[in-house]
Structure formats: C-alpha cells, structure tokens
Amino acid sequence: MSTAVILMNLGTPAEPSAPAVRQFLREFLSDPRVVEIPRLVWLPILHGIILPLRPGRIAPAYAEIWDTGLDGAPVEGAPLFYYTRRQSELLQEQLRENRPDIRVEFAMTYGEPRLADVVERLQREGFDSFMVFPLYPQYSATTTGSIYDQVAQIYRTNRNIPNISVVHNYYRHPMYVRALANSVREHWDKHGAAEKLLLSFHGIPKANVDKGDPYYLQCRETAEHLAAELGLDEQQWQLCFQSRFGKAEWLQPYTDKTLEEWGIKGVGSVDVICPAFAADCLETIEEIAEENRANFVEAGGGEYRYIPALNLRPDHIEALARIVEEKLPVPSKQSG
C-alpha cells in the first residue's frame, strides 16, 4: 500500500488583487460550515454587500504581506501558502528516516491546490491510501469540518474510492505544546518576559459552541497546557479570541477589547501568541502584529510583542512527524 500525507490549511487568494480576493472570499464565505446563516438570508448579503465592497479593502493588506511576511521576512507569495508548502517539504525530510514509504503533499480548503485534485493526481501515480492532516490543532466544524466535507465529496464522486483518514485534532499533543512553549521561552530569552502573555485563538460564533462545537474547550485546554508548561499562574496569562465578523456574539473575551482594557489600565508590556495558527497569515501579521499593537499602545499600554506562529520551527516539524507516525499503521515487511 502506497501512502500519502496531505497537509491542509485554509487557503489564500491567488494574488493580492481585488478580483483574486473576491474569488477567494466567494468560495470561503459560501461554505455553510463557515457561515451558518440560512442561505436565503446570507447569500444576498454576501453577493450584494460583502463581495462588491470588502475585496477592495482587503487586497491592499494582502499586498503589504505578499512576498515579505512577518517583519519583512522574505517569502514566496502569500505567507500562508509559502509556509504550508515548506512545511510539507520539511515534513517529507523529517519522515525520510523512519517512514521513507510516505509521500507528503499539501492542499488548501479554498483556492489552490485543491484536495480532490491532489488526491486524483496521487492516485494516478499509484497511491491508494491517504492521511489528510488539517493544520488546525483545535477542531472546529468551521475549519476541520469543511475538510471532512471535501473528503466525503471525494467518496461520492470517485468510482475508485481511496482509503482516506483525517487527523481530527492535536490540541494537547505534548510535542505541539512543547513547541509552543519553546517558542515563548526563546522569545523571553531574547526580550525578557512581558507582564502578560495573551493567547489569542481565532474566534467562532458562540452559537456554534452552544450547538456542540468542541472548539472552545480544546482552545481552553491548549492554553492551560501551555501555561502549565511555562509555569505561569492565572494572573500572568489570558485566553482570548480574535477575528470576529458580523454582529453576532462570538467567543469571548475578545482579543482587541482585552488589549484596549489592558492599555487603559497601563499594562507595561504584553506578549501575544496565536496557538491555533500553524503558519503566519493575514490574521496574525496584520490583525495581531500590527492592528492590535496600535490598539494597545494608543489606549495607554507599553511594549507590545507578537510571538510568531510555529511556521518552520524544527520542533514544530518534529511534532507533525510524530503525529503522522502515531496515526499511520506500521508498514508490513516485505518477504524476499
């Protein structure tokens, strides 16, 4: 049996232009997993208001990070795409010694390359077993759930149905938590520890959690494990949620509001880390590293420092490799 591992992340526009952003948002925001508002209500809003107006505002933000990434570091294209591609290449190298039988590729939930296309290509090359590995440590129906939908679509439309498994989550895997802790410690070694460590996770509507989405509980557990690994007490860290959209209540406390409150109170320094993001992207680079820094400082806060996502850290790649090795069966030895 020939096995392929396919790393998956959200996706990105093909280029930093309004038409490309519009195409990406059309696909992303049309997914009923992402926006659960009834279609008859939501689609007129999407096509009549959001798609005509929002791409023109977002495209310049993508242009600022295109080919540069965090703090001007050179990348190729969109940071999310670049880091996901490089993660697949580095994971392939990491697995070479223990699992040389495994091929590693990558795909995106929205945009290119598409999961169905990657699976079809690999099937033509002779692969018949696949592990789809969403780079979402915490499961949510809004993210990993959409990937399950794409796997189900492959089953429905493919006569030669492949064997596909999906990594559901890894929010408390010891090597993932250790990699997060190492990134914080290394930051502290260079800059010293701030008064507060803010752990900012991507938000989802509170109604989703009320209906049974386990995301909040998994974020909470990741935060608690990381705080314990770092030896922090409850006064030294805070769990928050960013990137809310629309007027509905989302998971709280909100990252921007918390930072504004800390600024008003005169907190002298804050470190911010985003444990739910395996790679830096628009939400971390623009929203967290830039916009929220301005909110905190303008409200009266002191020093603000963003700790980058795990990206291409060796301990991050090692953690991904360990999860793959734990999830896949040991290959049978060929008699000869």
Q: Which residues are annotated binding-site positions for Fe(2+)?
A: 202, 283
Query: Directed axis angle between helix 215-230 and helix 174-191, to 10°?
Result: 50
Are 81 and 12 contacting, i.e. CB atoms less than 8 angstroms apart? yes
Task: Sheet with 163-166: list strands edge to edge.
Answer: 102-108, 3-9, 129-134, 163-166
List, as residue ranges, the binding site. 202, 283
Distance of CA 99 to the CA centre of its chain: 26
Task: Select from 264, 258, 261 the least CA-distant residue to 272.
Answer: 258
CA–CA separation, 78 and 85 (whole Å): 11
Are 280 and 80 contacting, i.e. CB atoms less than 8 angstroms apart? yes
CA–CA separation, 323 and 188 (whole Å): 28
User: How many CB atoms are closer than 10 A to CB 32?
Assistant: 12
- The upper half-sphere exposure of residue 61, i.e. CA atoms within 13 Å in the direction of its Cβ, equals 19
Task: Select from 239, 233, 234, 226 the least CA-distant residue to 181.
Answer: 226
Please report, for residues 144, 254, 275, 278, 281, the alpha-carbon distance to residue 170 in angstroms, rounded to integers and kept in the order given: 12, 24, 12, 11, 20
